């Protein structure tokens, strides 16, 4: 039996007096995969940022409970240590920050322990092989000069290193070719096999990544709230007819 992991209740977020989220209600249990679809401007990415604790998106009202704890006042790093991971839709390039050193640092912060560089290099090589990422990337600067697909692989690599309880993927499939999409899906599948209680919230416009992930629930978000929920058939319906019928 799965336990409730994330509960969002009547969540309202306003920016400059304009409501972006207008009363979001959502529940995720451990081990579940939920997909969140909807037209641009519907609030999907805002919800992801709010869950991760981005201070640019203050909560006006409502409640977020993760693993039995109310997290509305927690900073992003505290949420990360609890086990919340967000893959960015547009990953930033950070010159001068070595990939291996950065990943070793976030590993230490996540698990509260240091790991010798040689041992971490072995762990990193194992994770990179899962998503067909060449070892040379570990010596480059974070996302600097990376292609779109390489940046998305980098996000999945961070996920594999952190082993979060809740994975939020914000359009991780956008701009990917078939091979890159398969690599991303392979990384997610590996994490789910290793940690079956990991829950996923996948934000996407397309059903093709969902063909790999097989979500139990699909939600459609419009006007800052969830307007329809169901099984995988909802994603197929959206792909066939768009959002106007909703």
Let me know how many helices (H) and strands (E) the chain has, helices first: 8, 12
Q: Residue 15: CA atoms inside 13 Å, Cβ hemisphere, count?
A: 11
| Residue position matching structure tokens 């994975």 | 167
169-223 confidence digits (pLDDT tens): 998 888 888 888 899 999 999 999 999 999 999 999 888 889 899 999 999 999 9
Q: Strand pairing of 18-29 and 33-37? A: unpaired
Please provide the size of the chain in residues.
246
Q: What share of the chain is helix, strand, coil (3-state, %, to 5)?
A: 40, 30, 30
**CB contact at 8 A, 56 and 239:** no
pLDDT at 121 over 60: yes
pLDDT at 233 over 60: yes
pLDDT at 160 over 60: yes
Query: What domains appear along the chain, each with residue ranges and CATH number?
Result: 4-241 (3.40.50.300)
pLDDT at 224 over 80: yes
Cα separation, 85 vs 159, in Å, equals: 7
* Mean pLDDT, range 148-154, rounded to an integer: 88
Question: What SS3 state is found at 5?
Answer: strand
**CB contact at 8 A, 177 and 147:** no
Mean model confidence pLDDT for the chain? 92
Which has the closest alpha carbon to 72: 81, 86, 83, 60? 60
Share of the chain above pLDDT 70, in %: 98
42-96 confidence digits (pLDDT tens): 999 999 999 999 999 999 999 999 999 999 999 999 999 999 999 988 888 888 9
Cα separation, 149 vs 155, in Å, equals: 10
**CB contact at 8 A, 20 and 50:** no
**CB contact at 8 A, 160 and 127:** yes
**CB contact at 8 A, 135 and 88:** no
């Amino acid at each position: 039996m799965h336990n409730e992991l994330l509960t969002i209740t009547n969540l309202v977020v306003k920016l400059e007096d304009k409501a972006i989220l207008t009363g979001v209600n959502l529940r995720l249990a451990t081990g579940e995969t939920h997909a969140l679809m909807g037209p641009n401007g519907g609030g999907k990415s805002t919800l992801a940022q709010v869950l991760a604790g981005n201070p640019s998106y203050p909560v006006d009202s409502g409640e977020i409970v993760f693993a039995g704890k109310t997290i509305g006042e927690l900073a992003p790093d505290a949420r990360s240590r609890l086990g919340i991971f967000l893959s960015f839709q547009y990953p930033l390039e950070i010159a001068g920050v070595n990939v291996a050193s950065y990943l070793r640092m976030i590993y230490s912060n996540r698990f509260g322990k240091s790991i010798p560089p040689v041992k971490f290099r072995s762990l990193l090589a194992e994770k990179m092989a899962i998503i067909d990422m060449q070892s040379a990337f570990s010596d480059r600067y974070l996302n600097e000069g990376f292609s779109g697909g390489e940046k998305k692989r980098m996000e999945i690599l961070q996920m594999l290193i952190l082993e979060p309880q809740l994975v939020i993927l914000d359009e991780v499939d956008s701009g990917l070719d078939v091979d890159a999409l398969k690599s991303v899906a392979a990384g997610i599948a590996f994490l789910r096999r290793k940690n079956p209680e990991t829950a996923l919230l996948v934000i996407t416009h397309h059903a093709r990544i969902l063909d790999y992930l097989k979500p139990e629930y699909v939600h459609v978000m419009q006007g800052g709230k969830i307007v329809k929920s169901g099984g995988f058939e909802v994603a197929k319906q959206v792909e066939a007819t768009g959002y106007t019928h909703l």
